[in-house]
Amino acid sequence: MGINERSNPANAELPKRKKIKLKREEERLKVAVFDDSGDGLILVDMDGKIIAVNPAVEKMTGFEKSEMVGKAVADIAPKMLKPEDLKRIMIMLGTALDGRIVPSGTYTLVTKNGREIPIAFTPSFVKDTDGKSTGIVATFKDITELKRMEEEIRKAEEKKLEDNKRRIEELEKLYDAAVGRELEMVEMKERIRVLELKLREITGK
């Protein structure tokens, strides 16, 4: 490369332009993943304010984006959670906002029209290039189908236990009956033996 090419400002700008283009593409992909996710995603800043929600959240909750974005989680959560779950999730969120890792949990989401949906809630940190936490992404996964399967398994196990209990009871009855018959046979044999002895006494044989 000649001196003129190296000193050309346009050439010096190429790496910057590539970085900007890559950064924009990265951001575009992030937005696409955020918007296209089948799970509900809510982005919360470190002050506890909702700064973004994806379409799945709107579909799942029945609330529109405009009703959530810009609002504090503390103001929105009571509209979407049962009282007993609200306390748990606010404690979890507070722990996360303090920068501490929190585990996933299961809760009952209450939609705008009052329908209840079992969900798995998973918070994860959003960090900048320096590794500093800048927000939290709360993931809401509808686990209705999972709960249905668990209920079916529970019922099947209960039925199996009931069936086994009934079979055991039937076997116990059969055993008792068999033992009873055996005792009757023993008693009958004893009576026959006694009668035979008396008969011998009478006949002298």
pLDDT in tens, the chain (205 residues): 554 555 555 555 656 665 565 556 555 555 657 787 888 999 998 888 999 999 999 999 999 999 999 999 889 989 999 888 888 888 888 787 777 777 788 899 999 999 999 999 888 888 777 778 888 888 889 999 888 888 888 888 888 888 878 887 887 777 777 777 777 777 777 776 766 677 677 776 6
Instruction: Write out the H or E segment, with its range, that includes residue 30.
Output: helix 9-36
Calpha distance 127→147 (Å, rounded): 33
Please say whether the dihedral angle defined by the alpha carbons of residues 52, 58, 62 and 65, taken in this order, is positive or negative: positive
pTM here is 0.60
Name the fold adopted by 37-142.
Answer: Beta-Lactamase (3.30.450)
How far from chain centre, in Å, is Cα 62? 21
State phi, psi for 132 to the nearest 5 degrees.
-85, 135
